Structure 1
């Protein structure tokens, strides 16, 4: 087992050496002391540590550094080692920065300089940080190697799966020397791709999603059969319910089909979320939320598909696709929505081979110096366009409507208008696609004139509409004509076309309660919900208070 790292960063070489010297003297026997003299250098060191599968226990960062302040550095360091304890080195004049850091980067401690004598001022702080870290250390960064074809849809799905679950991975092409050597060493035929090589050297041939995440140490099986609360769906609404359920003493399990975060988790930048004036990536926000839920005792199951919900007396039973089931006193439905498929010739056969639904963050770097086409006119499409513009030579947004103003936030429209690499083509739709083993051409049509043109394109990212995917609830809870779950005052009182039955109990339904008492719906899956991350988180938190009312009065 490698020694956990204590990292210190300070732009003053003398101070940097002094901190490292004092830390090495006290902790060098059981910890590896790493020092850096700038924020960027420290981030590079953290990336190398992550790639080697090591753990970081404590990070000490000076606040006053050029190019990147201590708070800015710690915010980015959290993405690499979210459980590492964070200490800010400040002068007396920097106390405002320390207060800001407590809110922005969940700072554990701020230490005033000078720290002499270290036995009184430095070591007690580091001792406390190390003790806290040992209670919840970072999960080792297990490097997974995926061997497959560049334009294989299944290879893409596996890359997306491990990336969205915060697992370190390398992708090796089977037709290149390194990938071919790895297949030969594993004794696997190149016709049986993709292959996943785990950290302990096992070769998983054409594995399921569950096999991959289990090999990486994530949980896919419930630890018990009965819970106070089952949350189905791990987007912002489900994470909000999980955090508040766990923090308020409910035995809570979160069940996610693919990876926590949902659509919000794939967003490159959310700039209007409360408390993050410089914006926050969806991945960063939802990773913090998952860690927070786990901190409060919520159990998280990954790659589990829920296929049925059954009221069974006072219990609510959730059934999985393998036939197993768990029972709860209450259920929160937070399954969100999925992007609708673009219906035109040639797209289906190229899904995962140049055609992607959602941001597909794993593909961004592969788009370097190429043209990228983005379909959609809402915030998710705009955020993706901004992200791809950092890599692509040009990003072309294809919008069916006459402008972006109908569905996109004003701040994002301004950013797109000011970006020279983004071109917006309104009243334009995709009507065809073609290619051999991957997308090569798109056919576009002007909706005003009907004129069509064919353009060369290897990358198409689609962000259109929202489908709730609630077929598994058919015959159980009332839904509207589009499949969104009806709740509270929107519930019918008598059976009608919207569901198997209306609201039956004598009491009025709680605001987020479905037609099945004790089952609540939150976030995008709920009919007439506000499609924003902040409102989804708020509904998740509100649902837990309503769960308590249900448990008290049933």
Structure 2
């Protein structure tokens, strides 16, 4: 029986490098599903990914993806792994020969494979259509529904345009980018009555026009929650990185009325990572965006509220309540608070970097810029895991990637598995004992002056792209005078508060602080913002869960 038609002409995509097989799959699918679905055919993983990205930009839906396992350059598993980033809700099928069934079984864990189909599948009425019918039924019962895309018009080298694109991408908001000097961009500017001098221009699916929007205004107009639903909670989690998301999941799942407050986008630094390969349970790695989106949906499913683009500026004690104040003057109160504010990348102090930030100089991996680096020389400043992960990701399309490292080698600060990958990558080079003396350019980055730390010799190199990962600074200045911190700004908690075994001088309770508890009872810290923390995704998630356990203990005794 033919499936009912989808009003939006939802896509079923098939990819196989054998033209004959590719046409046969598409023929069989069109015969049974053509009345209700659009069948898209590709003959390589790269062309299929390009098609998926175009569909995503248009706001089209993809329900099922069928990929052949044995394809050159990019096999079916590798393709489905990348397709997962574009359409995480699409159901995934691997077409495989009998000899490759072991690979298909492995793919179940790697890419959450929904089914593997042995070739040939004749007759399709028995071997193909029942499988696809079940997958379409499962897809329709999921929460992936059409989301009209937001349109962004900006200038290629506009820092604010880059910030808006990054904000939308990290918050999983579908958008389409138009350059202000292209015909469609000019048409949108004219339709909106904008002169093009103030960019970016944002047009929401409801046709609301925003010019140079601030994050809070943009969030409110693209469907992100920015206002708490209540005035009082059991738990307020400040920060949406791995520690904060972990705390929100465990807090909400254990019955605490929980709200998570994030100033920019969930995921923190980990959410910007192109690939995390040492996180438990993902033997083939997972992107920060994938991990973040799963955690965010998981927290929401348990009932946690997630507020975006809300900047916290103060924390007060009001009897048994802990009051969190926002930059707009409003506030929310709770029995307990978990500080999971994380860290930000330190700014590179070399002359020219401030002026060129967002115009060739970027902090973090800035995955939204990766496509523009195709065929270019890219420089990455830093020698820790985040720099290594960005180098591996950008090397896929860049002409060359150069890691600039102040130290003598990568071994002090980078995981061994990443060092091995970098050594094996033909277009990645590492320059040790090298620092950026200055960044130069008019409209955008054009050159870098590099200095050898040992000899003092300076070299000028052509460069349009520089990504900076030079250590972490805790986002805790707003806690000054309230929560105790060390001389670098990291939050002190538990045993670090009581090195001599005695509670802090102003500690009001008879018991000593719990392990992750700050000098304020009921206020806990988790993740990278805590002094002496491990600075790893797994430990941050674990601390978020542990902090919730201690919150329960605190509430039971209050």
What's the TM-score, normalizing by structure 2?
Answer: 0.86
Q: 1:460 Cα deviation (Å)?
A: 1.9
Q: 1:435 Cα deviation (Å)?
A: 2.1
Distance 1:152 1:237 in 2: 33
Residues 388, 62 of structure 1: CA spacing in aligned structure 2 closer, same or farther, 3 A cutoff? closer
Residues 33, 545 of structure 1: CA spacing in aligned structure 2 closer, same or farther, 3 A cutoff? farther
Q: Tell me the secondary structure at the aligned position of residue 141 of structure 2.
A: helix
Q: Tell me the secondary structure at the aligned position of residue 163 of structure 2.
A: helix
Does the 8 Å contact 1:368/1:392 carry over to 2?
yes
Distance 2:89 2:555 in 1: 34
Residues 323, 111 of structure 1: CA spacing in aligned structure 2 closer, same or farther, 3 A cutoff? farther
Q: Tell me the secondary structure at the aligned position of residue 364 of structure 1.
A: helix
Q: Which deviates more from structure 2 when the two are superposed, residues 165-174 or residues 105-114? A: 105-114
Match of 1:247 in 2: 253
Distance 2:96 2:334 in 1: 48
Match of 1:257 in 2: 263
Match of 2:536 among 532, 546, 551: 532
Matched, 1:215 2:224: no
Does the 8 Å contact 1:39/1:73 carry over to 2?
no
Match of 1:275 in 2: 281
Match of 2:384 among 378, 383, 399: 378
Residues 90, 543 of structure 1: CA spacing in aligned structure 2 closer, same or farther, 3 A cutoff? farther
Does the 8 Å contact 1:428/1:447 carry over to 2?
yes
Q: Tell me the secondary structure at the aligned position of residue 511 of structure 1.
A: coil
Matched, 1:129 2:150: no
Distance 2:99 2:466 in 1: 51
Q: Which deviates more from structure 2 when the two are superposed, residues 508-517 or residues 64-73? A: 64-73
Does the 8 Å contact 2:389/2:418 carry over to 1?
yes
Distance 1:124 1:371 in 2: 47
Residues 10, 420 of structure 1: CA spacing in aligned structure 2 closer, same or farther, 3 A cutoff? closer
Q: 1:37 Cα deviation (Å)?
A: 7.4
Match of 1:365 among 366, 371, 375: 371
Residues 90, 247 of structure 1: CA spacing in aligned structure 2 closer, same or farther, 3 A cutoff? farther
Residues 151, 121 of structure 1: CA spacing in aligned structure 2 closer, same or farther, 3 A cutoff? closer
Q: 1:257 Cα deviation (Å)?
A: 1.0
Distance 1:314 1:115 in 2: 66
Match of 1:402 in 2: 408
Match of 2:552 in 1: 548
Match of 1:170 in 2: 176
Matched, 1:293 2:302: no
Distance 2:198 2:69 in 1: 54
Q: 1:163 Cα deviation (Å)?
A: 1.6
Correspondences of 1:81-230 after superposition (within 5 Å): 81-84=87-90, 103-106=109-112, 125=134, 129=138, 132-133=141-142, 136-138=143-145, 140-230=146-236
Residues 448, 37 of structure 1: CA spacing in aligned structure 2 closer, same or farther, 3 A cutoff? closer
Distance 1:349 1:127 in 2: 50
Match of 1:32 in 2: 37
Residues 385-431 of structure 1, C-alpha deviations (whole Å, 9 max, x = no match):
22222233222221111111110111111222222322211111122
Q: 1:304 Cα deviation (Å)?
A: 1.1
Q: Tell me the secondary structure at the aligned position of residue 439 of structure 1.
A: coil
Residues 240, 126 of structure 1: CA spacing in aligned structure 2 closer, same or farther, 3 A cutoff? same
Q: 1:258 Cα deviation (Å)?
A: 0.9
Match of 2:471 in 1: 465
Matched, 1:322 2:328: yes
What number of residue pairs does the alignment pair up? 543
Distance 1:354 1:23 in 2: 46
Match of 2:12 in 1: 7
Distance 2:289 2:132 in 1: 34
Match of 2:339 in 1: 333
Residues 343-399 of structure 1, C-alpha deviations (whole Å, 9 max, x = no match):
222222221122211112222222233322211111111111222222332222211
Residues 344, 61 of structure 1: CA spacing in aligned structure 2 closer, same or farther, 3 A cutoff? closer
Q: Which deviates more from structure 2 when the two are superposed, residues 331-340 or residues 183-192? A: 183-192
Does the 8 Å contact 1:337/1:525 carry over to 2?
yes
Q: CA RMSD in A?
A: 3.4
Q: 1:66 Cα deviation (Å)?
A: 4.9
Query: Can you give the 5+ residue segments of structure 2 that lack an aligned partner in the other structure?
Result: 1-5
Q: 1:130 Cα deviation (Å)?
A: 5.1
Distance 1:440 1:44 in 2: 29
Correspondences of 1:58-97 after superposition (within 5 Å): 58-59=63-64, 61=66, 66=71, 74-84=80-90
Q: 1:476 Cα deviation (Å)?
A: 1.5
